Copies of this chain bind each other. A is one copy, B any other.
Amino acid sequence: MTTYQLQGLTALADPTRRAIFELVADRPRPVGELAKELPVSRPAVSQHLKVLKEVGLVTDRAQGNRRVYAANPDGLAELRAYLDHFWDQALASFRDIVEQTPEDQP
């Protein structure tokens, strides 16, 4: 778990890529529609979608002339599992901190 790649986190770190993911999570959309709602060019959107697809955060399917992208719950599940794991650890170590006040040491 520690040596995990967690490429999904890296993918969602970019604001534009996160915006794209949020748009397709709202509802599946073709590339052109995504580019219209974003301040970047259409090739940029294509490149971002390629990254999101590689890490399993989106899926695509041909629909006539267009290619419709949708959010993939599987990719999100991996990130949720990662955060949930450290949630428990963080809570435990944080509790240790609180119980051990700074005046404790001699």
- Partner-B contacts on A (CB < 8 A): 2, 6, 9-10, 12-13, 18-19, 21-22, 24-28, 59, 61-64, 70-73, 76-77, 79-80, 83-84, 86-87, 89-91, 93-94, 96-97, 102, 105
* Nearest-CB residue, chain B, relative to A90: B71
Contact B80 A28 (CB under 8 A): no
| Chain B contacts for A70, CB-based, 8 A | 93-94, 96-97
Please state the number of chain copies in the assembly: 2
Contact B61 A87 (CB under 8 A): no
Contact A102 B25 (CB under 8 A): no
* Nearest-CB residue, chain B, relative to A19: B2
Contact B91 A73 (CB under 8 A): yes
Q: How many Å lie between the Cα of A24 and that of B59 in the bound state?
A: 35
